[in-house]
C-alpha cells in the first residue's frame, strides 16, 4: 500500500483536524503517502484531492471544524455516482481510504467496499455519539462541554428571574448529549427519544421541583415531542406556563476540541492507518474501555447503541 486517502463527511465534529493530522503522520512513518479528499463524498465525486504532508497538517490539532471541509452528499445514494467516485479514487492511485463521519458516511463507505472492493475503514466522527461499537465518537466530549457551559449560563438568568427555560441540544436520533448535560447541569427534566416524554410529569416537575419557579428542562432535538419549541407550546396551551426556549444548535459543533477528543482522534487515526495496512476493510475503528475495536460498518448503524441506564436513572433521582 503506497497511497491512502482520508476524508471527513457529514456534520463536522471537533477533533477531526487532530484526526487528519494523526493519519498523515502515521502514514508517513509507515512510508505511505496521504491524500486529503476535500469536501467529503462531493469532493470524491468531483476529484477534489490534495496531497497532505507534515506542513499542511501542522498547527491544526486545536482547531475546530475540518480543514478537509465536509458535506452532506445526497448524490451518493445513486449507484452511478458511486461508480464515478471510484473512478476518481483509481485515477489518483488510492489503495485505501479512511472515512471519518457518522452513519450516513458509513453507509456510503460500506457500499464502496461491497460494490467496488474499495479498501475502506470508518472512524467515528460525530457529536451525536450514536454509533454502536465505540464508547465515544470524536467530537462528543467537546460538544457536551460546550453545551454545559451554555446551560450553566442559562441557569444563572433562569434563577435570577425565576423562569422556566427549555434548552434544546443536538442529537438527531439519540439522547446522549441531552442526558449527559442534563445530569451535569442538574436539569429538572431531560426529554430524550429513548424515553417517552410525558407533559403531565414535566408539568408536575416544574411545579414541585423548580426552585423559586426556576426550572431548566433539557430537550434532545430528536425527542418524539418534536423539540423544545413544540414541547413549550404544548405546556403553554395545556397549563398556561410559557417557558423561554433556547436552541443551542450549531454552536455545539464548533470550537477547539477537548483533550479527550484530541487523544481519541489521534489514537483512532493511527489505528485506522494500521488497520488498512493490515488488510482490514468495511469496519469502523473505535474504542471500548481501553481497547481498540473493529466493528463491521453495518453493525454500527444496525445495532442500537443505548444511552446508559445509569444516566437515565440519575436524571430522575437527582432532581
Ligand atoms: O449529526 C450531527 C448533527 O449535528 C446532529 O446532531 C444534527 O441533527 C445534524 O447534525 C444537523 O445537521 P446539519 O448541520 O446538516 O443541519
Read off the pLDDT of each residue in 245-266 and give the average, rounded to a whole number: 98
Q: What is the pLDDT of residue 306?
A: 96
Which ligand 1 atom sits closest to the C-alpha of 130? Answer: 1
Is the beta carbon of 11 within 6 A of some atom in ligand 1?
Answer: yes
Which residues have a catalytic role annotated?
Answer: 128
Q: Whose CA is nearest to atom 15 of ligand 1?
A: 11
Residue 290: which residues within 8 A CB-CB, separation 6 or more?
none
Task: Indicate if the pLDDT at residue 210 is higher than 80.
Answer: no
The per-residue pLDDT for range 180-199, each reduced to its tens digit, is 999 999 999 999 999 999 98
Question: Residue 150: pLDDT band by 50, 70, 90 thresholds?
Answer: very high
pLDDT in tens, 54-87: 999 999 999 999 999 999 999 999 999 999 999 9
Of 3.40.50.720, 3.40.50.150, 3.40.50.450, 3.40.710.10, which CATH number belongs to 3-139+257-302?
3.40.50.450
Separation between Cα atoms, residue 316 and residue 242, nearest integer Å: 23
Cα–Cα dist 14/139, whole Å: 5
* pLDDT, mean of residues 224-235: 94
- Average pLDDT over the chain, rounded to an integer: 96
For 180-208, b/e burial (b = at least 16 CB within 10 A) is bbbbbbebbbbbbbbbebeeeebbebbee
- The pLDDT, as a whole number, for residue 209 is 73
Binding site membership of 30 for ligand 1 (Cβ less than 6 Å): no
Distances (CA, A) of 65 to 12, 22, 70, 138: 6, 16, 9, 12
Q: Which of 156, 161, 162, 160 is nearest to 186 (CA)?
A: 156
* pLDDT bucket at 303, cuts 50 / 70 / 90: very high
Phi and psi of 159, rounded to 5°?
-65, -45
Measured CA distances, 103 to 19, 33, 179 (Å): 18, 27, 21
Pocket test for ligand 1, best of 41, 172, 226, 247 (most atoms within 8 A of CB): 172
C-alpha cell at 259: 483533550
Using a 6 Å cutoff on CB, does residue 103 contact ligand 1?
no
Q: Ligand 1 center to residue 172 CA distance, Å?
A: 6
**Coil/strand/helix, residue 32:** coil
Nearest CA to ligand 1 atom 1: 11
193 within ligand 1 shell (Cβ under 6 A): no
Contact 126 CB / ligand 1 (< 6 Å): yes
From atom 8 of ligand 1, which residue's Cα is the shortest distance away? 172
Domain-wise residue ranges, the chain: 3-139+257-302, 140-253
The atom of ligand 1 lying closest to the CA of 171 is 6
Q: What pLDDT score was predicted for residue 211?
A: 67
Taking CA atoms only, the protein residue closest to ligand 1 atom 14 is 11
As a CATH number, domain 140-253 is 3.40.50.460
Cα angle value 207/213/218 (rounded, 5°): 80
Asked if 180 and 144 touch (Cβ cutoff 8 Å), the reply is yes
Q: Alpha carbon 270 to chain centroid distance?
A: 19
Is this model's pTM higher than 0.75 or not?
yes
- Which of 9, 11, 16, 222 has most ligand 1 atoms within 8 Å of its beta carbon, as the pocket-test mutant? 11
Q: Tell me if 134 CB under 6 Å of ligand 1.
A: no
Measured between its terminal Cα atoms, the distance across the chain in Å is: 55
Amino acid at each position: 500500500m503506497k497511497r491512502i486517502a482520508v476524508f471527513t463527511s457529514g456534520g463536522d465534529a471537533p477533533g477531526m483536524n487532530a484526526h487528519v493530522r494523526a493519519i498523515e503522520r502515521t502514514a508517513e512513518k509507515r512510508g505511505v503517502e496521504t491524500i486529503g479528499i476535500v469536501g467529503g463524498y462531493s469532493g470524491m465525486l468531483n476529484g477534489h484531492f490534495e496531497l497532505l504532508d507534515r506542513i499542511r497538517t501542522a498547527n491544526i490539532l486545536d482547531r475546530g471544524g475540518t480543514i478537509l471541509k465536509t458535506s452532506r452528499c445526497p448524490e451518493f445514494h445513486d449507484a452511478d455516482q458511486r461508480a464515478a467516485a471510484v473512478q476518481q479514487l483509481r485515477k489518483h492511485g488510492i489503495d485505501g481510504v479512511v472515512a471519518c463521519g457518522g452513519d450516513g458516511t458509513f453507509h456510503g463507505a460500506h457500499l464502496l467496499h461491497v460494490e467496488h472492493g474499495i479498501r475502506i475503514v470508518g472512524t467515528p466522527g460525530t457529536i451525536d455519539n450514536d454509533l454502536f461499537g465505540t464508547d465515544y465518537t470524536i467530537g462528543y466530549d467537546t460538544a457536551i462541554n460546550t453545551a454545559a457551559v451554555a446551560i450553566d449560563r442559562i441557569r444563572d438568568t433562569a434563577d435570577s428571574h425565576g423562569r422556566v427555560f427549555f434548552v434544546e441540544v443536538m442529537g438527531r436520533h439519540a439522547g446522549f448529549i441531552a442526558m449527559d448535560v442534563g445530569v451535569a447541569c442538574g436539569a429538572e427534566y431531560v426529554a430524550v427519544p429513548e424515553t417517552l416524554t410525558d407533559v403531565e410529569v414535566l408539568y408536575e416537575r416544574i411545579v414541585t421541583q423548580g426552585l423559586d419557579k426556576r426550572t431548566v428542562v433539557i430537550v434532545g432535538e430528536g425527542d418524539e415531542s418534536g423539540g423544545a419549541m413544540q414541547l413549550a407550546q404544548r405546556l403553554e396551551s395545556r397549563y398556561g406556563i410559557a417557558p423561554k426556549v433556547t436552541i443551542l444548535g450549531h454552536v455545539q459543533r464548533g470550537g477547539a476540541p477537548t483533550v479527550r477528543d484530541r487523544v481519541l482522534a489521534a489514537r483512532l487515526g493511527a489505528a485506522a492507518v494500521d488497520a488498512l495496512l493490515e488488510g482490514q476493510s468495511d469496519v469502523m475503528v473505535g474504542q471500548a474501555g481501553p481497547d481498540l475495536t473493529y466493528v463491521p460498518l453495518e453493525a454500527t448503524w444496525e445495532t442500537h447503541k443505548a444511552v446508559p441506564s445509569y444516566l437515565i436513572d440519575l436524571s430522575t433521582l437527582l432532581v
